[in-house]
Structure 1
Amino acid sequence: MSTQDPAEADRSFNRSMLVKLVVVAALMFGFGFALVPMYRAICQITGINNLVQRDATAREAKNTQVDMSRTISIEFDANARGPLGFRPEQRSLDVHPGEVTTVIYEVSNEQARTIQAQAIPSYAPKQATEYFKKIECFCFTQQTLTANETKRMPVVFVVDPKLPKDVKTITLSYTFFELNTPAPVVRGTAANPA
């Protein structure tokens, strides 16, 4: 009958546990890297978080029938996060469904440094989202603004004539935010005196 030394049994158990923990950590690390492409694939399949794809092409928009019997009021809203000034040049506009329309938004970098920024659109009422077709929009790409630069950026859109008759007003709202926010500077600590 062989008895194993208790110290040797503990070392064996510890080695076994270490191997298991290393394998689990490696799997978790790999899963973290796999999440990004999985997220993109899921978003592409479901159409969620689709910021860079046009809703309609100019050709598709020109092929729609303009419904002159209806008028939809489009309201424009702008919100900025960070060191940006952001506003639509006009607050509202009446359009006919099927009519290609252009509006201008203005964004200003109020900092003395270059920034990267992105605009995210949203719509109200929510049911109007699928009927508001952007042909060209600054929200399709990231924007680079140099120090104290101001840009005028167009949004070309068409409201699908299939929009339900009970929707009389659509609000197009953009939130513009800085992508490369600098890390805050900590002052007054013993290691970094003010």
Structure 2
Amino acid sequence: MPAVGTLHKRNKRVGVIALAMAGAMLGLGFASVPLYRMFCQVTGFDGTTQRADEAKAASVSVTGHTISIRFDANVERGMDWQFKPLQVTDTISIGARDMALFWAKNTSDHAITGMATFNVEPEYVGKYFNKIQCFCFTEQTLKPGQEVRMPVLYYVDPAILDDPDAKDVEQITLSYTFHPSADSGAKALDRTGSGV
């Protein structure tokens, strides 16, 4: 039978190891969202589009192939905004820069700040859909009754034509959903005194 001192040291070591593992798991939990986001942005996984600057976009060759882009717009339930694309579909040349316009209106009696999430369908072409400029990169604040037009500058990378799984895609859907920011939710709670 081990001595009490030895048993105490073993228990202490096991406790320290368990605590270190719990701390590592907690740290991994906090890091998982940014790591997942980074993974999606690099690979286009889960319909995540790519971001391109003007210089990169200018260096892309325009091909003779065309593709249809469909635009979809949604708002989270309970958010007092109207939001829609001004053109539902567009046919573009692969590699050419193009612009889509979306319209939003705050239908409430108070300012609302929102942030758009986005994805493309089919998901596996996300790595070929490049945004140069987008309202989804920043929060948008609309005053009561305010209407705005929001542009998206984009292009489809010609590398899509070399991908055996994606080269025959005829239409890509770019979908946005606006969600109220945390600040807007807190302000609504202050006015009503409840979250309902």
TM-score (norm 1): 0.71
Cα deviation for residue 110 of structure 1 reads: 0.7
Quote the Cα distance in structure 1 between the aligned partners of 2:99 and 2:41: 25
Residues 14-163 of structure 1: pairs in structure 2 closer than 5 A: 36=30, 38-39=31-32, 41-43=34-36, 45-47=38-40, 55-68=51-64, 70-81=65-76, 82-163=79-160
Quote the residue 1:14 is aligned against.
none
- Cα pair 1:84 1:177 within 8 Å, conserved: no
One-letter amino acid of the counterpart of residue 42, structure 1: L
Superimposed CA distance per residue, residues 30-65 of structure 1 (whole angstroms, 9 cap, x where no aligned partner): x879954x2455246524699xx9611111111111
TM-score (norm 2): 0.70
Quote the Cα distance in structure 1 between the aligned partners of 2:41 and 2:132: 18
**For the aligned residues, what is the CA RMSD?**
2.9
Quote the Cα distance in structure 1 between the aligned partners of 2:136 and 2:51: 12
Structure with bigger helix share is 2
Q: Between 125-134 and 174-183, report the one with greater CA deviation.
A: 174-183
- Cα pair 2:84 2:104 within 8 Å, conserved: yes
- Cα pair 2:108 2:144 within 8 Å, conserved: yes
* 1:171 aligns to 2:173 (yes or no): yes
Compare CA radii of gyration and give the structure with the larger one. 1
- Cα pair 2:100 2:151 within 8 Å, conserved: yes
Given the superposition, is the C-alpha separation of residues 44 and 122 from structure 1 closer, same or farther in structure 2, using an over 3 Å criterion? closer
- Cα pair 2:129 2:157 within 8 Å, conserved: yes
Q: Percent identity?
A: 31
The alignment partner of 1:46 has SS state of: helix
One-letter amino acid of the counterpart of residue 136, structure 1: Q
